Structure 1
């Protein structure tokens, strides 16, 4: 089966869900990964499809018209004071649009609270046929593979899994060999990008790069192939926000180059299964 690619919404966050879908079709993607859970971050557009019925209908029509599929939605964060039921409208939207997965990450230092709320999120998503994919983020409370596996092994939810981001994996300092201890069924998709090899020493610099300055695959210092070779063959969701490239090229050309650079990289680095993948 040919490798499949999605465009993550953060790559072209200025595009509404229907715009992103049509652009994904024009530039050769198989999926889109949408961001309908509004987080209120500075400059973040509000694409709450559960609230904006017109935008939901336009998105549903775009998916039907293009044949593009919805891979996942984000971001079901676990944070202090969270009532997981707030995510139910987004789960319903994702299911109606044919989505498969929901991305989650943990932003509370209270381990017991995180475990309880993450398990509840998984339970709430299950009737919709959705899986919850836990991602570690270097600026979050759960910031490495060890911490993520601790959560997953504790909750033991059959619709919970692990989502690895190339940028975050490199920044966490984890070893690629450690991926071999992860159950294969926990891998369902992968965030693909590159970034400078030098790891920033400050949180501000780390945040700026992960949100605004990621690199095309093969242009940075991350050994992406070493990660890919130790996980199963799954869809790659290209999450590659780069403000300067978008200003120079526009969203569509940036999206096209994201995909082409990834394909070029894998042509030069054919997949090798180095573990039980």
Structure 2
């Protein structure tokens, strides 16, 4: 699929630029040439959101205006945690708002191995996931499952097993290449995943040596590398993914933590374009409507 990639179709993950107001993210994405963004509507950790959107009509209006002005669409919203504390009623406003903002996908994740966390059984988690898919379907949303070694949906096999057991048409696996690599998977493992069960791919890179388990979350949230700067066999993986699959750039780079939102977005765009051009695939980043 690497030869079919068009940069303006790629989405910029909010994690790439840090926790920033949605409107600032949208304008930065436009300034860097990205065509889409992912928005954080619900917290995936014990920490509250820094920039609340749900229940903020003024913020929602600003997001819609920024999206219209820049042409940058909302691809996905996150994050929906599958845990014993999950309240489907609390999810519903986020699903409704995601669809209202134009999103087509949401991300669901397992419970993090941290503190005094409690966990669902496999059967309970599958049932909860199925109910989330049913709720999301009412808003035309596809539910992606992101696996992580520091949560109780750890590998692509765990995620796919739950997806198949739930049996919902609007469900798929989120292929975050960092988590795929840290779980010990190899590119040819992708051939075991039905193409229709891959919702989208999140691209980044990392060093070869894995951090200890207790530091995996910190790496994922703040210490990734730009594409082609690490050990992940990205070209082989991209060559095995379905043509036309949505790509998301998720590269929170530690050395860029002090950059502005726009600087981080532009750095992600430059490194992504350099990687794709080095592999004879991507066109140059188009001129952005808002610098």
- Give your verdict on TM over 0.5: yes
- Structure 2 residue 73 is the aligned partner of structure 1 residue 62: no
> SS of the counterpart of 1:104?
strand
> SS of the counterpart of 1:158?
coil
Match of 2:91 in 1: 87
How is 1:40-119 mapped onto 2 (pairs within 5 angstroms)? 41-42=46-47, 45-107=49-111, 108-119=119-130
Match of 1:274 in 2: none
- Please give the alpha-carbon distance, in whole angstroms, between the structure 1 residues aligned to 2:271 and 2:46: 29
Contact 1:78 1:105 in 2 (8 A): yes
Contact 2:20 2:51 in 1 (8 A): no
- Structure 2 residue 271 is the aligned partner of structure 1 residue 251: no
- Structure 2 residue 227 is the aligned partner of structure 1 residue 242: no
> SS of the counterpart of 1:190?
strand
124-133 vs 218-227, greater mean Cα deviation: 218-227
> SS of the counterpart of 2:229?
coil
Residue by residue over 1:91-119, the C-alpha shift from the partner in whole angstroms, topping out at 9 and shown as x without a partner, is 11111111100011122351111101100
Q: How far is the alpha carbon of 1:270 from its aligned partner? A: 4.2
Q: Which has the higher contact order (CA 8 A, sep 6+)?
A: 2
Contact 1:73 1:99 in 2 (8 A): yes
Unaligned residue ranges in structure 1 (runs of 5+) = 272-277
Number of matched residues? 268
Unaligned residue ranges in structure 2 (runs of 5+) = 112-118, 282-291
Match of 2:32 in 1: 27
Q: TM-score, normalised by structure 2?
A: 0.87
Q: How far is the alpha carbon of 1:88 from its aligned partner? A: 0.6
Residues 212 and 2 of structure 1, relative CA distance in 2, 3 Å threshold: closer
> SS of the counterpart of 2:240?
coil
> SS of the counterpart of 1:14?
coil
Structure 2 counterpart of 1:121, from 112, 115, 132: 132
Q: How far is the alpha carbon of 1:84 from its aligned partner? A: 2.1
Structure 2 counterpart of 1:226, from 236, 243, 246: 236
Residues 260 and 222 of structure 1, relative CA distance in 2, 3 Å threshold: same
- Please give the alpha-carbon distance, in whole angstroms, between the structure 2 residues aligned to 1:33 and 1:198: 29
Contact 1:13 1:45 in 2 (8 A): no
How is 1:162-177 mapped onto 2 (pairs within 5 angstroms)? 162-177=173-188
Residue by residue over 1:2-57, the C-alpha shift from the partner in whole angstroms, topping out at 9 and shown as x without a partner, is 52211111112332111100111111001010001134544x64333222221111
Structure 1 counterpart of 2:18, from 3, 13, 16: 13
Residues 10 and 120 of structure 1, relative CA distance in 2, 3 Å threshold: same
